Structure 1
Amino acid sequence: MAERYSSFTPGGTGWLLQRITAAFLVVVLAFHFFQLHFITHAADVTFAGTQARMEHVGYFLTMVLFLVTATFHGINGVYNALVNQGLDGIQKKVVLAVLTIAGLALIAQGTYVALVMAGWA
């Protein structure tokens, strides 16, 4: 039988954060889907409606937290999948640096867009 290997240390911080972000994403994705498919039907989603929703502090914070959480969860998952496939040494450090920079850029750009949509920038 094949031996199970994971770059996550069971009970470690990375392992725990991956699970916490997954649980949070399930809840926020459900909210997001419900909001934009049942309350506001997809065909009725407009730029002005998005601006109106983003003006509410609770909605704004939820969407920014959604962005940060999804970015971390995705990048952490990709990085650990690559480590599980045998990535090591300098390549591992380069991939981590590139993914971290890409994640920070995504969060910065997404936060800026959210601020503009809310009329706060």
Structure 2
Amino acid sequence: MAERYSSFAPGGTAWFLQRVTAAFLIVVLAFHFFLLHFVNHAWEIEFAGTQQRMENVGYFLTMVLFLITATFHGVNGVYNALVNQGLTGTSKKVVLAILVIAGGALIAQGIWVALVMQGFM
């Protein structure tokens, strides 16, 4: 029988955060999907409506946390999948650096857009 290998150490911080972010994403994605597909149908979504939703502090914070959580979950998952496939040494460090920079850029851009939509900038 093949031995199971995972770069996540069970009970470790990365393992724990991957599961916590998954649980958070399930809840927030359900809220997001319900709000934007059942309460407001796709053809009803407009820029002004998005701005109005973003002016609500609770909605704004939820969407920013959604962005940060989804980015971390995705970057962490891709990195660990590559490590599980045998990524080691300098390549591992380079990939980690690229993913951290890309994730940071995505979060910065998303927060900037959220602030603009909220009317803060």
TM-score band w.r.t. shorter chain: over 0.9
Uncovered stretches (5+) of structure 2, i.e. residues with no partner: none
How far apart, CA to CA, are the structure 2 residues paired with 1:105 and 1:38?
A: 31
Q: How does 1:1-121 map to 2 (within 5 A)?
A: 1-121=1-121
How far apart, CA to CA, are the structure 1 residues paired with 2:99 and 2:37?
A: 32
* Amino acid in the other structure paired with 2:37: H
* Amino acid in the other structure paired with 2:108: A
How far apart, CA to CA, are the structure 1 residues paired with 2:102 and 2:94?
A: 12
Normalised TM-score (structure 2): 0.99
Using the aligned pairs only, state the percent identity.
Answer: 78
Query: Per-residue displacement from partner, 1:64-99 (whole Å, max 9, x unpaired)?
Result: 000000000000000000000000000000000000
Uncovered stretches (5+) of structure 1, i.e. residues with no partner: none
Deviation at 1:15? Answer: 0.1
